[in-house]
Amino acid sequence: MLITLLDLEREPVHLDLKFAPGSIDYGDEATQTSDLAVKGEAELLREHRGPKEVVPDIRTRAKWSGTFEAPCARCLDPVKHELAGEFDLLFRPLGVDAGPSERELGTPETEIGYYQEGGLVLEDVLREQVLLSLPARTLCSEDCKGLCPRCGRNLNEGACTCEATSADPRWSALSDLRSRVDLKTKETNKVGH
């Protein structure tokens, strides 16, 4: 849904929408499995920057909720997430803050987004909000065994038939070190008793 400046010139746009699964692309990060419900509004704010410059900002406030699946970080099985959130965001026209030289951004400015072509695409805002709400690492369970690195079998469903991998010869020095440390520990324990 495109929220245009022309629509906002007349009055705030009230949002009471449902986005069906598949209508917003979340990439490989998540899959929407239920309607994404959104309620809120968008309004036009005029930012006066001197006597003749007025910047048309779009303020969007809404609550949203929906059901999503994200792949387990170990076995890639889908994991269900009931997500909900709310946002209060300000968007300025793209390029309005561009200046001849670089400058440091303050905290309030880092929370400002930008729109282009006379409006704001609500789906883009929702995609960002959903992806930010997902856990940093999704696991189907704490004891997930993951996938076999050789054949790709899900080890939660049973052991694979791959032969035990031979140790990489580059690790042999560490293996020798471990056996020497274990031997030294045993000798120290014998002397101490």
Closest by Cα among 137, 140, 90 to 114: 90
Write out pLDDT tens, residues 48-80.
887 888 888 999 999 999 999 999 999 999 999
Domain boundaries, the chain: 2-133
Closest by Cα among 73, 80, 96, 93 to 31: 80
- The DSSP code sequence of 96-119 is TT--SS--PPPHHHHTEEEEBTTE
CB atoms within 10 A of CB 9: 9
Write out pLDDT tens, residues 4-40.
988 999 999 999 999 999 999 999 999 999 999 999 9
Contacts of 135 (CB under 8 A, 6+ apart): 70, 81
Q: What is the mean pLDDT of the chain?
A: 86
Question: For the chain, what percent of residues have pLDDT higher than 90?
Answer: 57
Total-model pTM: 0.74
The CA-atom distances, in angstroms, between 106 and each of 96, 109, 110, 111, 117 are: 16, 5, 7, 9, 26
